[in-house]
Chains A and B, each alone.
Chain A
Amino acid sequence: MKRANIAGLHIEYSMADAAFFDYRLRSYVSHDIADRDLLLRTTVHDHIDSPHGQFIKQIKSATIVQMQDGHIARSILDRETGKIAAVVRSKPDYSEVEIQLWKHRTHPIFTLTDYEYMYTGFAFKDRLTYLGGAVLHGSAIAMNNAGIIFSANSGIGKSTHANLWKQYFKDEVTIVNDDKPAIRMLNGLPYMFGTPWSGKTELNANVQAPLKAIVFIKRSDRNYIERLNTRDSIFALSSQIERPYYDGQLGAQTLDVIEQLITTVPVYQLHCNISYEAVQVVYDKLLAEKEISI
């Protein structure tokens, strides 16, 4: 088993595509033998048997059962072949997760390693959420130890905007995670963390920074920024912090994080086009509000 420290979680893992994950997790390697937070294992099989246990529910192509040892198993069916494409088996507190992948699953875009990447990302997110954190869909940057997350639905331009900050401010800016930064509260204050799960790109860094602003992006001809009121902030955050379909209680826990964020982090709406002016608008605002410093 190998060890990593991701967002302060001590993880022991064994991945099917070891080479891919050795490379992907290279910045997160840990030699710490602190108490383990998560045991994560992925294996690949020619055939996956249905997990035996007490049936809990069927949600679309996922069957959820509780096994004799108390673990919850979620099997996902491949619609084309009717075979079990994956089984994710976890302790109820997500401290141990085992992912079984069917070797012959085919998809026009995703490879088996892509599936492994996705399911291990979910496992990390679930354990992080159980422990009081959350993953926010957004592009996160750090500048002079200030963390800013740009969030929006896919395709709106949060990644583009974050990359403009990098181009504009160069070495002053680090792209911490281009898709799913982790958030944790430490002594009542919010921090954002890089993780190896950064969506389609490898843009991530093992960096943590105090979370100073969350900026929701909307496309517009004109560049301007405004503070969001509480209700709109809650709506925006609840849309971009995913709640798992397979665990209502875990989803409800994300609301605890949203409540903490609302009271500790300013939330903005940025109306913008793709330009350095958009970057300047945000920068000037955050500087004026003393959320960042030069």
Chain B
Amino acid sequence: MKLVSGFSLRTIADSRVVVPVGETTINFKGMITLNGSGAFLWEQLGTEKTEAELVLALQDEYEIEEQTALLDVKQFVEVLSRAGFLQ
């Protein structure tokens, strides 16, 4: 899975935000704020990744246990998927 196009992730001051750009602005009027690990996973999903690859990447980056990483990734992917951000 990977992100649909049309969103721009930026760090502005101390906030990590995602805003729609281009034709996405027609249907999506909001903005998403992400915490550190959320922004990290969002960037990972810029290219095709499996859940397992995301878990490994998260573990590498944050030195957390596999179980924690697995839960975090599942939760994040579910939210993105429900909102239509993944293809």
Contact = CB atoms under 8 A, between A and B. Distances in A.
Nearest to B5: A248
B25 A255 contact: no
Interface in B1-39: 5-6, 8, 10, 12-15, 17, 19-26, 29, 31, 33
Contacts of A251: 8, 21-22, 25
Given A252-B10, A255-B12, 7 more contacts: A59-B23, A231-B15, A235-B17, A239-B29, A243-B25, A248-B5, A252-B21
Interface of A: 57, 59-60, 230-231, 234-235, 238-239, 243-249, 251-252, 255, 258-259, 262-263
Contacts of A258: 12
A255 B10 contact: yes
Contacts of B21: 243, 248-249, 251-252
B19 A243 contact: yes
Main secondary structure of the interface of B (DSSP, over half): mixed
Give the 7 A-B CB pairs with smallest separation, nearest first: A248-B22, A251-B21, A248-B21, A59-B23, A230-B13, A252-B8, A259-B12
Contacts of A259: 10, 12-13
A61 to B, nearest CB: 11
Contacts of B19: 238, 243, 255
Contacts of B31: 234-235, 238-239
A248 B20 CA distance: 8
B33 A231 contact: yes
Q: Which among B14, B26, B31 has the highest number of chain A CB atoms within 10 Å?
A: B31
A247 B8 contact: no
8 contacts: A231-B15, A238-B31, A243-B20, A248-B5, A248-B22, A251-B22, A252-B10, A259-B12
Contact of A234 (B8, B12, B25): B12
B38 to A, nearest CB: 14
Contact of A247 (B5, B10, B22, B29): B22
Contact of A245 (B5, B10, B12, B23): B23
Contacts of A234: 12-13, 15, 17, 31
Given A235-B31, A245-B23, A245-B25, A255 B8 contact: yes
Given A57-B23, A59-B23, A248-B6, A230 B29 contact: no
Given A231-B15, A231-B17, A255-B12, A245 B33 contact: no
Contact of B22 (A231, A245, A255, A262): A245
A60 B24 CA distance: 12
A265 to B, nearest CB: 12
B29 to A, nearest CB: 7
